[in-house]
Amino acid sequence: MQIKTKAIVISTLKYGEADVIAKCFTQEKGLVSYMLKGIRKSKRAKLRMSMFQQLSLIEIEAFHKENKNLQYLREVKLYNPYQNLQSNVYKSSMVMFISEVIKNCIQEEEKNEALFQFLNDSCIYLDKAEHFKNFHLHFIVKLTKYLGFYPDNQSKDFPYFDMQNGVFQLKEYSSYSFNDSNSALLKLLMSSEYYDDSQDISLNQDRRKHFLDFMMLYFEMQLQGFKKPKSLEVLQQIF
């Protein structure tokens, strides 16, 4: 079956001497792995490695065979070329982190239109943004909504955040109930509808680090097999 769909490049893996396997989150088929034959050696091929940088937004035509782990691309083009998302050292550190989080979160091959649109819009925003120091914090909180474990809004007036159940509570019922600055920041980011809103929140590097560690623990508790991204340390050294 031949399909045409938009896709977001999540990761690439070298295979053999000249091939690459690209993992993409597609609008129509969800998570799909594509074999890119000879892409690392051929200079005249239609497919170029520059098209498959992390979080590149591409439009593809592909041949899909049911029950196959690897699919094959026929045509690829960038539908939203970035201005500086992958070249700006500060933004690229966020790109590495976001890509790794998505890779660790999305395992099943199923269509998720809402998640795709959220990732698409978030990438475009970050590319254009002039102020983005809190973007990754806000992104992580918003992402939980599309993964099915967004903290309970109705309990936000309570001081303790229970990581096991994703709710705010009046009292500390377990060792995973937190009443600290991280819980307060979580509420603040939940109340911020747009990314621009979170850029006015005054945070130092230490506060961002502790909040990211806090949220990564929440991800580990909610998603079986989730691993803390290796790129987290690099990101925390920059922001």
Q: Is the pLDDT of residue 108 over 80?
A: no
Q: What is the DSSP letter of 150?
A: P
Condensed to tens digits (0 to 9), the pLDDT of residues 96-107 reads 999 999 999 987
Round to whole Å and give the CA distance between 231 and 99.
10
Domains of the chain in sequence order = 2-78 (2.40.50.140), 89-238 (1.20.1440.120)
DSSP string, 71-126: EEEEEEEESS--SSTTTSHHHHHHHHHHHHHHHHH--S----HHHHHHHHHHHHHH
Give the number of other Cβ atoms within 10 Å of residue 148's Cβ: 9
- Structure confidence at residue 44 as a pLDDT band (50, 70, 90): low
Round to whole Å and give the CA distance between 178 and 117.
32
Tell me what the pLDDT averaged over the chain comes to. 93
What was the pLDDT predicted at 38? 84
What was the pLDDT predicted at 66? 83
Mean pLDDT of 39-64: 86
Q: Is the pLDDT of residue 45 over 70?
A: no
∠ Cα 166 232 159 (to 5°)? 30
Residues forming a β-bridge with 4 = 61
- The most distant pair of C-alpha atoms in the chain lies apart, rounded to whole Å, by 64
Give the contacts of 153 (CB within 8 A, at least 6 positions apart): 190
Mean pLDDT of 86-98: 96
Round to whole Å and give the CA distance between 137 and 209.
10
What was the pLDDT predicted at 175? 77
Q: Please say whether the beta carbons of 79 and 57 come within 8 A.
A: yes
**Helix (H, G, I), strand (E, B), or coil: what is residue 129?**
coil
Mean pLDDT of 1-18: 93
Q: Kindly report the pTM of this predicted structure.
A: 0.93
Percent of the chain with pLDDT over 70: 98
Sign of the torsion formed by the C-alpha atoms of 160, 222, 208 and 128? negative
Which parts of the chain fold into alpha helices (H)?
89-105, 113-128, 135-147, 181-191, 195-198, 205-222, 232-238
The pair of three-digit structure tokens given for residue 56, joined into one six-digit string? 């590149």
Q: Is the pLDDT of residue 205 over 90?
A: yes
What was the pLDDT predicted at 206? 96
Mean pLDDT of 36-47: 77
Of 141, 162, 113, nearest in space to 215 by CA: 141
Mean pLDDT of 93-119: 93
Condensed to tens digits (0 to 9), the pLDDT of residues 151-192 reads 998 988 899 999 999 999 988 887 778 888 999 999 999 999
Q: Is the pLDDT of residue 194 over 60?
A: yes
Percent of the chain with pLDDT over 90: 79
- Structure confidence at residue 126 as a pLDDT band (50, 70, 90): very high
